Amino acid sequence: MAKFEKGRSGNPRGRPPGIATQAKLRKAIEKDLPGILSAMVNAAKGGDTAAAKLLLDRALPTLKPMMQTTTFETGETLSDSGRAIIQAVSRGNMNADHGAALIGALAGLARVVEVDELADRIEALEKSMEAGP
């Protein structure tokens, strides 16, 4: 017998009533929000680094580096393409992060190709089994 029955909740009572949610919290501090923000700004100006970090993280999120477009000659095979990427990185034509992302994409593609090839082989074996010896 399965641990859980289909269509039957593992938590039949559900969430207990009265648990604070974000909406309740927002509503509770809504009228005090201008004062809270002002106090945080004043604390940050007074040298409170935690307050400054919180304000800056919320107002100015960390910039994420953008990968520049890079062109390079791909190879005939996935291995050749991987070598081309590594050569482009080693020559300085592509940054290492971009190269790592492309190698990761090649690895994903290799798995897809492998699954396709295995499916084709299984299908061929099944057809040969049906045809008989």
**Boundaries of domain holding 44:** 22-59
Is the same domain home to 125 and 82?
Answer: yes
- Say if residue 1's pLDDT is above 60: no
pLDDT at 2: 57
pTM: 0.48
Which carries the bigger pLDDT value, residue 108 or residue 73?
A: 108
State pLDDT tens for residues 4-19.
677 777 777 776 666 6
The Cα 72–Cα 74 span in angstroms is 6
- CA 113, 114, 118, 119 dihedral sign is negative
pLDDT at 5: 76
Is the same domain home to 83 and 54?
Answer: no
State pLDDT tens for residues 34-46.
999 999 999 999 9
How much is the average pLDDT of 57-76? 80
pLDDT at 40: 92
Is 67 contained in some domain?
no
Q: At 96, is the secondary structure helix, strand, or coil?
A: helix
pLDDT at 14: 73
Is 72 contained in some domain?
no
Whether residue 99 contacts residue 126, with contact meaning beta carbons closer than 8 Å, is answered with: no
- Across the chain, mean pLDDT equals 86
Is 13 contained in some domain?
no
Is 71 contained in some domain?
no
The Cα 67–Cα 95 span in angstroms is 8
Burial class of residue 110, CB neighbours in 10 A (0-12, 13-18, 19+): middle
How much is the average pLDDT of 75-103? 91
